[in-house]
Amino acid sequence: MPVYFLEIIVVALGLLILMVDAFVKLEDKRTLAWVGMLGLVVVFALLFRVQWPESTEGAFWQFYSANDNLALFFKGIAILCTLGVMIMSYDFSGVVVDQTADPEPGAHPQAGLGEFFALPLFACAGLMWMASANNLVSIFVSLETVTICFYVMVAYLRRNVGSLEAGVKYLILGALSTGFLVYGFAWLYGVTGSMDLAEISAALAKPDVNQAAALFAFALILVALTFKVGGAPFHFWIPDVYQGAPTPITAFLSIGSKAAGFIVLLRLVSPFLASGELVGKVTLAIAIIAGLTLLIGNLSAIPQKNFKRLLAYSSISHAGFLLMALACTPRSSDASGALSKPVTVIAFYLGAYLLMTILAFLVMTVVRRKIADETFDAYTGLAKRAPFLSAAMLIAMASLAGIPLTVGFWGKLFVFKLAVEQQQWVLLAIGLIGAGAGFYYYLKIAASMYLGTPDPKKQVIDDTPIPIGNVARIAMILLMVGIIVAGVNPSLILGLLD
Amino acid sequence: MESALTLNHFLFVSGVLFAVGLAGVLIRRNLIVIFMCLELMLAAANLTLVAFSRFNVQDGEPGYDGQVLLFFIITVAAAEVAVGLAIIVALFRSRETTDVTKINSMKF
């Protein structure tokens, strides 16, 4: 099966959900989530059976031909991430119905729920397309498909002021970064005379390239993508948007949006890094952003009290580690071994990040159904009330902190190894400080879950167990097993990247 | 005689447009005006693309790649406006304001 069928299937699945929602009278619209989940599982299975076309030269699909395992790996991340979001949305649908309720008489009691299950699929198709995009036009269109879907999803709870505010903030800053991106694309096109990444790479490698204009284009693109991945100093939207958005969408933003930002960053920065004239300045700029992001993300996370805000700062700090890997690109092409390449390290890190972040958000969504409070107080002494959920959260937090025997440990270790190889000592020091701060703020939650006693002044004491849906329980078990198994043997994930 | 307008003229105008748009986004407080300024930034990018495309002559024809991207930018900008105005209207209904300094219910 040709590989571009995957995106078509995902878009068709989204359209199917919209059509069924519009024309079939369903008792319970959560059935649509089942359709989406099953479809995504099928697409994920098909991912292992695709063939790359022999040549796309001159073909209709020529803009879609970054044909490497990296593209497949990122498609896999996009599908699994969307699947996790659908599982969370299924559990979260009660809140969505409450916050979007239509007061008109005769309306379906779950009106407005169907689109909540279709939009992630359209975003997923955009993410998958972006993984293969090899042309400025296809990068732009797929990136905007994802971003516009996200605008709607973030502002989805239209009776909730927080969600609307988050939506407006995301809209303005997302559109601002789009403006920078297209202006950068225009200049890149002006400097190189081409839209194709391979031709751009060849044009930038020539000695007579206009360096000032190329660096201007690079700066504009870097600003735009730093916005998208949440790097400092353009990270300020992340905490507000993450806090206001519906929880499943926060998870989608923190993984899908970040993975998308990084694949585009990798593809767009590599022509600049391959150019002998520009590589020094480009690396320095990325290294400065990486250092700032690591410091701001980790140090601002320490005083947080709201769980979603903490995960927002945690997502900033992980973006810092990923940018740090990108800043450690080997100067010479003779660096051997897959782990000497930032591309492999970044892909591994994102795979690990997917497992642990989905797990953390899944636990949060389930807890949120019983406890409306999103601050840490809700988690104090949770271990007695919900031992399974606490164990899952403990593993997620341990992996996010990077404790050995979890997959998060290897992700950080590979980044640090890369920094040592490239002798980026300042970045390495900042990274170690960040990782140390991470131990404190992640394990603080774990400690309060297991050792803390609920304070009657801060929360309602309630010892009834928290119900967990079967799908969510299975997903949590799979994610926990994945984190531990890949933590013992990281070559399982690395094998997919060769 | 060829036109006296060179590439630099177009780049200068589009640079000014971009700067005006960016300044508007940073300074103005009304959401609708901010949104208009964002569109101005996209227009600046479009003008740059057309200019580069027109002056990048190969085999006697301008490079059409840039003009193709322009059409996609216009389409995407329209979609963005549709979604964006809907969100702004929904926010206006619940908060009765479009002043960005008053949209601050989330603080840590």
In chain B, residues with a C-beta closer than 8 Å to the C-beta of A199 are: none
> A214 in contact with B at a CB cutoff of 8 Å?
no
pTM, full prediction: 0.92
C-alpha span between A286 and A334 (Å, rounded): 22
- B100 secondary structure, DSSP code: G
* Closest Cα in chain A, distance from residue B106 (Å): 6
Question: SS3 letters for chain A?
Answer: CECCHHHHHHHHHHHHHHHHHHHCCCCCCCHHHHHHHHHHHHHHHHHHHCECCCCCCCCCCCCECCCCHHHHHHHHHHHHHHHHHHHHHHHHHHHHHHHHCCCCCCCCCCCCCHHHHHHHHHHHHHHHHHHHECEHHHHHHHHHHHHHHHHHHHCCCCCCHHHHHHHHHHHHHHHHHHHHHHHHHHHHHHHHCCCEHHHHHHHHHCCCCCHHHHHHHHHHHHHHHHHHHCCCCCCCHHHHHHHHCCHHHHHHHHHHHHHHHHHHHHHHHHHHHHCCCCHHHHHHHHHHHHHHHHHHHHHHHCCCCEHHHHHHHHHHHHHHHHHHHHHCCCCCCCCCCHHHCHHHHHHHHHHHHHHHHHHHHHHHHHHHHHCCCCEHHHHCCHHHHCHHHHHHHHHHHHHHHCCCCCHHHHHHHHHHHHHHHCCCHHHHHHHHHHHHHHHHHHHHHHHHHHHCCCCCCCCCCCCCCCCCCHHHHHHHHHHHHHHHHHHHCCHHHHHHHC
Backbone angles phi, psi at B25, to 5 degrees: -60, -40
Domain boundaries, chain A: 296-498
Q: Could you tell me which residues come within 8 angstroms of residue B53 by beta carbon, excluding any fewer than 6 positions away?
A: A189, B62, B63, B64, B65, B66, B67, B70
> B69 in contact with A at a CB cutoff of 8 Å?
yes
Q: What part of A 152-181 touches B (C-beta under 8 Å)?
A: 152, 155, 158-159, 161-162, 164-169, 171-172, 175-176, 178-180
Yes or no: say if A257 and A231 are a contact pair by the CB < 8 Å rule: no
- Among residues A117, A153, A105, the alpha carbon closest in space to that of A20 is found at A117
Extract the tokens encoding A348: 């591994």
C-alpha torsion angle, residues A447, A451, A452, A453 (rounded to 10): 160
Extract the tokens encoding A131: 């993984």
pLDDT score of A97? 86
- Would you call A158 and B73 a contact, using CB atoms and an 8 Å cutoff? no
pLDDT score of B77? 94
- Would you call B48 and A152 a contact, using CB atoms and an 8 Å cutoff? no
- Would you call A175 and B18 a contact, using CB atoms and an 8 Å cutoff? no
- Among residues A307, A302, A315, the alpha carbon closest in space to that of A257 is found at A315
- Would you call A172 and B31 a contact, using CB atoms and an 8 Å cutoff? yes
Q: With a cut of 70, which residues of chain B have pLDDT below it? A: 1-3, 106-108
Of the partner residues A151, A190, A244, the one whose CB lies closest to the CB of residue B106: A244
In chain B, residues with a C-beta closer than 8 Å to the C-beta of A164 are: 87, 90-91, 94-95
pLDDT score of B1? 46
C-alpha span between A36 and A39 (Å, rounded): 5
In chain B, residues with a C-beta closer than 8 Å to the C-beta of A144 are: 76, 79-80
> B80 in contact with A at a CB cutoff of 8 Å?
yes
Yes or no: say if A438 and A347 are a contact pair by the CB < 8 Å rule: no
Yes or no: say if B65 and A138 are a contact pair by the CB < 8 Å rule: no
- Would you call B56 and A152 a contact, using CB atoms and an 8 Å cutoff? no
> B105 in contact with A at a CB cutoff of 8 Å?
yes
Residue written as token pair 């204009």: A213
pLDDT score of A59? 65
CA of A243: which chain B residue's CA is closest? B106
CA of A240: which chain B residue's CA is closest? B106
Of the partner residues A165, A180, A194, the one whose CB lies closest to the CB of residue B65: A194
- B103: part of which helix (H) or strand (E)? none
pLDDT score of A395? 94
Question: Helix, strand, or coil here: B57?
Answer: strand
pLDDT score of A56? 63
- Among residues A70, A64, A57, the alpha carbon closest in space to that of A2 is found at A64
- Would you call A172 and B25 a contact, using CB atoms and an 8 Å cutoff? yes
- Would you call B69 and A171 a contact, using CB atoms and an 8 Å cutoff? no
> A304 in contact with B at a CB cutoff of 8 Å?
yes
CA angle A461, A463, A464 (to 5 degrees): 130
For CA atoms A198, A204, A208, A210, the dihedral sign is: positive
C-alpha span between A24 and A346 (Å, rounded): 44
- Would you call B91 and A148 a contact, using CB atoms and an 8 Å cutoff? no
> A199 in contact with B at a CB cutoff of 8 Å?
no
- Among residues A178, A142, A362, A422, the alpha carbon closest in space to that of A259 is found at A142
Per-residue confidence in pLDDT tens, chain A, 498 aa: 778 889 999 999 999 999 999 898 888 888 899 999 999 999 999 998 887 766 666 666 666 765 677 888 999 999 999 999 999 999 888 888 888 877 677 777 777 888 999 999 999 999 999 988 888 999 999 999 999 999 999 999 988 888 999 999 999 999 999 999 999 999 999 999 888 888 898 888 888 888 899 999 999 999 999 999 988 888 889 999 999 999 999 999 999 889 888 989 988 988 888 777 788 889 999 999 999 999 999 999 999 888 888 999 999 999 999 999 999 887 665 555 556 688 889 999 999 999 999 999 999 988 888 887 778 877 888 888 888 999 999 999 999 999 999 999 999 999 999 999 888 899 999 999 999 999 999 988 888 888 888 777 766 667 778 888 888 999 999 999 999 999 999 888 888 877
Of the partner residues B41, B51, B87, the one whose CB lies closest to the CB of residue A179: B41
- Among residues A435, A349, A443, the alpha carbon closest in space to that of A398 is found at A443
> A240 in contact with B at a CB cutoff of 8 Å?
yes
